[in-house]
Structure 1
Amino acid sequence: MSTRPKFRETTCLDGQWIVPPLQLNNANIFKPILSCRAYFPIEFFQAAFLTLVNHPEYNSSLILRSDTVWDDDLTIHDAGSENSNNPRPSQRCMLKDHIATRSIRRKLLPRRPGRDGSLEQDCIIYRSKYDSHPTVGVLVPQIPHNHGLPYYHPSVSHLAFRYVHSDTHTDAPEETTQYLIIEVIPLDDSPIDISSRLYRTCLALLETIDRYSWGSANNYKKRVIHDVIIPRDEYQDLYLIMKERYKGLVDVWQESTDPCKHVFEDVGIATFLMLLWKKTYEYVDPECFDAERPWTLWPRPSEGFVDLGCGNGILTHILISEGFKGEGIDLRSRHSWSHYPENTRRHLHVQAFNPFELPPQLKPSIFIIGNHADELTPWVPVVSSILPASGYLSIPCCPWDFDSKYERGRGGAFKVPQFDSKSHEHQEFVESLGFGEAQGETSYSKYRVWLAYLSRACGWKLECEMLRIPSTRNWAIIGRSRDGEELSGREVAQNILSAVSERGMFTPRIPEGKSR
């Protein structure tokens, strides 16, 4: 892929317009705010605008996502003409000398519903009467009566993105004469000077659509893919509920670590697990039903879960509090443990992990969690195969091998399997893992590749997900079903256990406190 030209904006506030501004049929005239050179053909403009429509959260941390209310192709019934009776294109946004080709109504959902409300917005694509390609995209907020716009929306009644051709404003004929322009119709008394919030918002939007357009023209593909196993909307909706239920833990944090990171990270992991179990297991009769917690009726692992290296115990606490059966084990208790309710405390255990003599909490059909479990990480798929467990989730952090040595991606002392890092098969395998570093060249990436091969060798069908949690170590490997012959996978796991025993380098750590 060629290098994207540097983005350089030009203000239009001084009246130096590239082309005359857009105008509504009711005579309202847009005000041009900013422009930039467009280093891509016109046919890629619409794709970029639709990316912006479908993913407003890319450009604002205050927006969770958008849900589509409708999406009409207006070219099918010629609904984009000025005389159309179709009520869906906003009648407040019929552009002079333009024809609407597509009308989308989306609902913007805030990341913090307690502070900001949702907002419906029309997103309309136009082509000029003199051009066959779409060249304009307009956003029109549907402002509720007696209510203003939420904070995350700029103070405008219309905001337009425009692709234009011009033979002016260039001293180098060999350079592009194509431009992107942002134009607005501001609400009353909204400042538009270069220090205003509206100007800064327009600048960010202009750079974003320029980047999307250029990327579309140059076949850019995201290297990190989210929401492979659990749909984004399901996860986000449940996460907001769980975040509200457990945000109070931040105020009573007992550890020296960052409370926001640890609380909301484990809220995210708990959310993912609840939806993963719902999708994976069969219905199990709960002991009780709470109308405010519909997940009490959701499927879950029949024997519950074990959180290996549970640390501060938040993840175990959340899952148990929401009605899931499970245990957390760690080498030492944390200050947080004594502040949890009794129903959580009795499920937290000071216990050493010994693969040659498994803790009593590890039993067949259990679901194993390894959340940043350090030296326990490589043992998660192995023990899950030996038991066998009903499944596992592993979120690796620091690279450790089976001999508890910190290896920084060397690949571990036990190689499974011997793979050729330059082979086409290996490259395809690495790409399927879904993480962003260049084909597994970083030490952390190499460790994840090794863990993925290890999981597959132990007989698990490989699934990976980049979790939506506030951590740079958010790649997860999931085992939910067996791949191929189950006995051969268990045999590999047993051979690993035997090889580690013969080397005699692994020594179970001693619990730091009273076992319980």
Structure 2
Amino acid sequence: MVYLTANPNVTSSLLFRADILFDSEGLMQTPEEKEEAFGTRGNTENETQNSSSAPKSAMDIQGFKLIRTVVRRLIPRNPALDKPLEQTCLFYTSNGAFPKNTGFSDQKERLLLIYLPHVESIEEMPFYHPALRGLAYLYDFHITPEGSESGSLSLHFLPFTPEIPNRLERTLLMIHGINVKMSRNWVYQPGITNGADKNPEKDNLIPRHRVQNTYTRLKAQYASDLCSRWAEKTDPVKHVFEDLAITAFLLELWRSMYGVNPPLESPNDNADTARFPGFVDVACGNGVLVHVLIMEGYSGWGKRLVEKIYIPKPFADVADLQGIKTEIHTGDFAADTFIISNHADELTVWTPLMAALACPTSPLPFISIPCCSHSLLGARFRYPPPRREKRKGENEENEGQDEHDPSEQNAQPASGDLRALRAAKEHEKTEDGHLKSQYGSLTAKTMSIAEEAGYEVEKTLLRIPSTRNMGVIGGRRRVAEEWKKTYQGGSQASPTESMERDGAEKTQKIMSIIEEECIKDGGLELAARKWIERAQTLTKEEAKPDKAHGS
């Protein structure tokens, strides 16, 4: 119930989240406290307002004592249709005095949670909320005569009118069903009382409300125009809203890294604000992401009057490029350029390598959102799951088996029944299961390559309408620290002989990674030739708007 209090979007698709305005236990963070914790306070155009709301008065209930009070604000997905709603959430527990009419003489504990909307009439109630003055959950935990433990959950409500409309009845049954389903599958974690998302990789880099607020603004500003002018055969709804969600994350990520909003052309324009170094969107596809970022004032390029074939510099150095008619690019990006690799397919694993090779002394920051799995030579390839250390107490019966055997990945259930298949799908959602999936293995490979290239790598689950929603980010913390020193009172160090020597060593290390990866394909020269052959097939095709060639 604590989790659902912090995440009402689980019970309604019309809600984004709940912003916590007050928690008597101080465990659930307010938006301001989240921004302070993430270090993002003070670097956005619309500073989060200090939010406070007095809770509704708690009532005395026979047999219960109040243990916690939370005030939350429900945030709708579409603020143009629905308004936010504030609620007081009252947590009670039994004080040992059980009323006789409960029917449970052997009760051990009773838990009660009451939601009180801050409205006075039914006309004030938004569409996404049941038309009720109050809603309560009561959980009775007791011991049966046979000695087994069990519990019962009941839903209680106070309507505005004596009649119960069909819609309200359906809504209450749905809410009750969600609670029962979650209770049956919930894995209790001691100490988790702050309502945080069960997945630690969600909202772990940028506060959730920052990204969702920016997405709401972008959607209202750009979505209708982009969809109405869509010129491709693909579904505009899928592409437009996904790219707007990625744009929202990038804008907030860059504000946290560079402290820029809006970006300035020159650092002299404001002594406390840095300039944005520019971005490049490789494999930019239809160019929507580039278009919106530029419209937001961030300089960069991708599919902006430019279309080039990417030939990695290590391949270009050993291969014959005479047969390629289209202009090529070897990844020689300007210093500090932020690289975006969104569903870049053939360029996914290359992304950290091209970023590091572009400036070995100060590797370029990047974000990679993996999709389809390819090897360094551009061919479709399924990476084996990464090796993991055995957990304490794990048996040794599989000792000696090849953990990299791709034939064991996503093995089909032996029984072949639907229940076994569902169990396998649920296992994929766990850490070990995710790593054994093709997408998890590709993500792990991208991170591994980046770490070998010297990056401090982070990953985050992006809130985008796609199952390919893992973001791999390299260089975020280092760049943020360097930018702060450079443009907020410090000075950027000039290149030295030791830095140049360090750069040469890093280049050699990256080349070693590439050569090692190409061994299975016959070596660097053969891999380069195969990459060039694929590039030539692309140049012979007519331009296809949806083909992500790599800008």
With the length of structure 2 as denominator, give the TM-score of the two structures: 0.66
Task: Rate the CA distance shift 1:441–1:265 in 2: closer, same or farther, 3 A.
Answer: same
Aligned position for 2:531: 506
The separation in 2 between residues aligned to 1:150 and 1:194, in whole angstroms, is 14
Task: Rate the CA distance shift 1:309–1:104 in 2: closer, same or farther, 3 A.
Answer: same
Task: Rate the CA distance shift 1:65–1:399 in 2: closer, same or farther, 3 A.
Answer: same
What is the identity, as a one-letter code, of the residue corresponding to 2:20? T
The separation in 2 between residues aligned to 1:386 and 1:423, in whole angstroms, is 35
The separation in 1 between residues aligned to 2:451 and 2:215, in whole angstroms, is 30
Aligned position for 1:407: 381
The separation in 1 between residues aligned to 2:177 and 2:89, in whole angstroms, is 18
Pair 1:286 & 2:281 matched: no
How much has 1:123 moved relative to structure 2? 0.3
Aligned position for 2:82: 116
Contact 1:435 1:466 in 2 (8 A): no
Aligned position for 1:465: 460
The separation in 2 between residues aligned to 1:348 and 1:513, in whole angstroms, is 17
What is the identity, as a one-letter code, of the residue corresponding to 2:119? I
Equivalent of 2:301 in 327, 350, 353:
327
Aligned position for 1:142: 118
Pair 1:99 & 2:79 matched: no
Task: Rate the CA distance shift 1:299–1:480 in 2: closer, same or farther, 3 A.
Answer: farther
Aligned position for 1:312: 286
What is the identity, as a one-letter code, of the residue corresponding to 1:385? A
The separation in 2 between residues aligned to 1:435 and 1:278, in whole angstroms, is 32
User: What SS class does the counterpart of residue 123 from structure 1 fall into?
Assistant: strand
Aligned position for 1:354: 311
Equivalent of 2:247 in 264, 270, 278:
270
Aligned position for 1:366: 337
Equivalent of 2:352 in 358, 376, 381:
381
How much has 1:202 moved relative to structure 2? 3.6
Aligned position for 1:493: 510
The separation in 1 between residues aligned to 2:216 and 2:504, in whole angstroms, is 42
Task: Rate the CA distance shift 1:327–1:94 in 2: closer, same or farther, 3 A.
Answer: same
Task: Rate the CA distance shift 1:465–1:385 in 2: closer, same or farther, 3 A.
Answer: same
User: What SS class does the counterpart of residue 210 from structure 1 fall into?
Assistant: helix
Greater RCO, CA 8 A, separation 6+: 2
The separation in 2 between residues aligned to 1:165 and 1:461, in whole angstroms, is 47
Pair 1:246 & 2:216 matched: no
Contact 1:372 1:397 in 2 (8 A): yes
How much has 1:89 moved relative to structure 2? 5.5
Pair 1:451 & 2:446 matched: yes
Contact 1:316 1:327 in 2 (8 A): yes
How much has 1:56 moved relative to structure 2? 0.8
Aligned position for 2:170: 197
User: What SS class does the counterpart of residue 349 from structure 1 fall into?
Assistant: coil
What is the identity, as a one-letter code, of the residue corresponding to 2:230? W
Equivalent of 2:160 in 187, 195, 201:
187
Pair 1:55 & 2:7 matched: yes
User: What SS class does the counterpart of residue 149 from structure 2 fall into?
Assistant: coil
Contact 2:122 2:131 in 1 (8 A): no
Task: Rate the CA distance shift 1:454–1:182 in 2: closer, same or farther, 3 A.
Answer: same
The separation in 1 between residues aligned to 2:337 and 2:373, in whole angstroms, is 25
How much has 1:88 moved relative to structure 2? 5.7
Aligned position for 2:102: none
User: What SS class does the counterpart of residue 363 from structure 1 fall into?
Assistant: coil
Equivalent of 2:234 in 231, 237, 257:
257
Contact 1:89 1:124 in 2 (8 A): no
Which stretch shifts more, 198-207 or 444-453? Answer: 198-207
User: What SS class does the counterpart of residue 509 from structure 2 fall into?
Assistant: helix
Task: Rate the CA distance shift 1:88–1:370 in 2: closer, same or farther, 3 A.
Answer: closer
Count of aligned pairs = 412
The separation in 1 between residues aligned to 2:149 and 2:187, in whole angstroms, is 17
The separation in 2 between residues aligned to 1:222 and 1:202, in whole angstroms, is 19
What are structure 1's unaligned runs of at least 5 residues?
1-48, 75-86, 289-296, 330-346, 412-418, 428-433
Task: Rate the CA distance shift 1:133–1:166 in 2: closer, same or farther, 3 A.
Answer: closer
Contact 1:403 1:505 in 2 (8 A): yes
The separation in 1 between residues aligned to 2:115 and 2:514, in whole angstroms, is 60
How much has 1:59 moved relative to structure 2? 1.6
How much has 1:486 moved relative to structure 2? 6.1
Cα RMSD for the two superposed structures: 3.6
Aligned position for 2:16: 64
User: What SS class does the counterpart of residue 351 from structure 2 fall into?
Assistant: helix
What is the identity, as a one-letter code, of the residue corresponding to 2:86? E
How much has 1:299 moved relative to structure 2? 5.0
Equivalent of 1:226 in 202, 217, 239:
202
What is the identity, as a one-letter code, of the residue corresponding to 2:187? G
Task: Rate the CA distance shift 1:461–1:196 in 2: closer, same or farther, 3 A.
Answer: same
Aligned position for 1:215: 187
Aligned position for 2:399: none
Aligned position for 1:157: 133
Contact 1:300 1:324 in 2 (8 A): no
Task: Rate the CA distance shift 1:145–1:158 in 2: closer, same or farther, 3 A.
Answer: closer
The separation in 2 between residues aligned to 1:53 and 1:95, in whole angstroms, is 21
TM-superposition CA deviations, 1:387-414 (whole Å, max 9, x none) = 1253111111111011111012248xxx
Task: Rate the CA distance shift 1:198–1:98 in 2: closer, same or farther, 3 A.
Answer: same
Task: Rate the CA distance shift 1:224–1:71 in 2: closer, same or farther, 3 A.
Answer: closer
How much has 1:196 moved relative to structure 2? 2.9
User: What SS class does the counterpart of residue 376 from structure 2 fall into?
Assistant: coil
Contact 2:20 2:70 in 1 (8 A): yes
What are structure 2's unaligned runs of at least 5 residues?
27-52, 98-107, 267-271, 317-328, 393-402, 404-428, 480-498, 544-548
